[in-house]
């Protein structure tokens, strides 16, 4: 076991998880589960700190149709941070997308090739474009027909000083079996986001039911490839975890509807770390009236804001 990560475990719990028990007729090895969660935590931090992880985001600019000058100078319509030059060029926004024209002499690149004019295909297309200048990179995001420019700094100092993330102790009792109760037909859910007026509309195959301490609870599940995705809140959202809710995945069940919800792998959305993401928030029906003391906690010192 990774000794550095094992400090999250209390001695009594460590003794508990080194035992094994029977779950749903199969042998469940709790020591293997602990190691699995610790490895997941390490991977979680690594993904966050990767160049295209959430921590390198330093700006998100929503743009209506029109023309916008951009660069670091205060006279621009869109003001870039990081090591951006004072004046870079202009964005042209239409209902079809965003194009960019660069001022003469600017070393602005796409796929390593210097560009002067380019249509910046959005992240929702099969050929999304990334524009770079030094340590900066920007892309176009499209959400519900709205376009924005997301700015990253691959040398953002916030990344170097980030972590370790805070967690509850690993609790094998909060790895629970759930049953998907399918709707007669999949539904399109209407889920709010942290961006006012911007919705999230995933397909939901149904609701999962599970028990904690003998009490039955339900969460609406959203289809995500071969997995089910959940945005949930609980009573810890008031004091220990991110207020807008946490994320969790489980495997897509087979005909028996069975899946496992391991709340030890629940985690904060990207908007817990900066203001430049478009996170969904837990809907009222996915706010559990119980404390889920497992998974990732929230600490405001890990939230970056350029206004601080």
pLDDT at res. 12: 35
How far apart are the C-alpha atoms of 222 and 201, rounded to whole Å?
A: 9
Is it the case that residue 76 has pLDDT exceeding 90?
Answer: yes
Show Cβ contacts of residue 204 under 8 Å, excluding neighbours closer than 6 positions. Answer: 183, 186, 187, 188, 189, 220, 221, 222, 223
Is it the case that residue 204 has pLDDT exceeding 50?
Answer: yes
Alpha-helical segments (H) within the chain: 3-6, 11-17, 30-49, 157-160
Which among 198, 254, 194 is positioned nearest to 228, based on CA atoms?
Answer: 254
Residue found under tokens 């980030």: 162
Domains of the chain, start order: 3-25+163-302 (no CATH), 54-153 (2.60.200.20)
34-52 per-position pLDDT tens digit? 999 999 999 999 999 999 9
For residue 93, give the 3-state DSSP assignment. Answer: strand
Element housing 216 (H / E): strand 215-224
Is it the case that residue 127 has pLDDT exceeding 70?
Answer: yes
DSSP character at residue 294: -
**Mean pLDDT, rounded, for 193-215:** 94
298-307 per-position pLDDT tens digit? 999 999 987 5
Output the pTM of the full model. 0.86
- Residue percentage of the chain with pLDDT more than 90: 87
């Amino acid at each position: 076991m990774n000794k550095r990560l094992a400090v999250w475990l209390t001695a009594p719990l460590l003794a508990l998880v080194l035992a094994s028990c029977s779950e749903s007729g199969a042998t469940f090895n709790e020591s293997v589960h602990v190691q699995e969660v610790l490895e997941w935590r390490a991977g979680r931090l690594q993904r966050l700190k990767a160049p295209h992880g959430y921590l390198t985001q330093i700006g998100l600019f929503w743009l209506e149709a029109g023309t916008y000058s951009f660069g670091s100078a205060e006279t621009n319509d869109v003001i870039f941070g990081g090591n951006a030059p004072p004046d870079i060029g202009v964005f042209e926004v239409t209902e079809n997308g965003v194009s960019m024209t660069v001022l003469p002499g600017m070393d602005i690149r796409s796929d390593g090739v210097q560009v002067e004019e380019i249509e910046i295909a959005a992240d929702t297309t099969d050929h999304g474009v990334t524009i770079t200048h030094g340590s900066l990179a920007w892309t176009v995001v499209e959400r519900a027909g709205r376009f924005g420019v997301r700015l990253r700094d691959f040398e953002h100092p916030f990344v170097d000083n980030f972590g370790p993330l805070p967690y509850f102790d690993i609790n094998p009792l909060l790895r629970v079996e759930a049953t998907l109760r399918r709707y007669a037909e999949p539904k399109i859910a209407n889920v709010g986001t942290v961006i006012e007026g911007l919705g999230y509309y995933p397909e939901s195959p149904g609701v999962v039911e599970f028990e904690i301490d003998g009490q039955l609870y339900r969460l609406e599940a959203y289809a995500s490839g071969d997995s089910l995705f959940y945005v949930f809140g609980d009573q810890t959202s008031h004091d220990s975890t991110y207020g807008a809710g946490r994320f969790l995945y489980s495997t897509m069940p087979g005909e028996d509807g069975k899946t496992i919800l391991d709340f030890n792998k629940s985690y904060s959305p990207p908007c817990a770390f900066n203001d430049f993401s478009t996170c969904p928030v837990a809907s009222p029906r996915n706010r559990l009236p119980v404390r889920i003391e497992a998974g990732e906690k929230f600490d405001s010192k890990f939230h970056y804001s350029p206004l601080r």
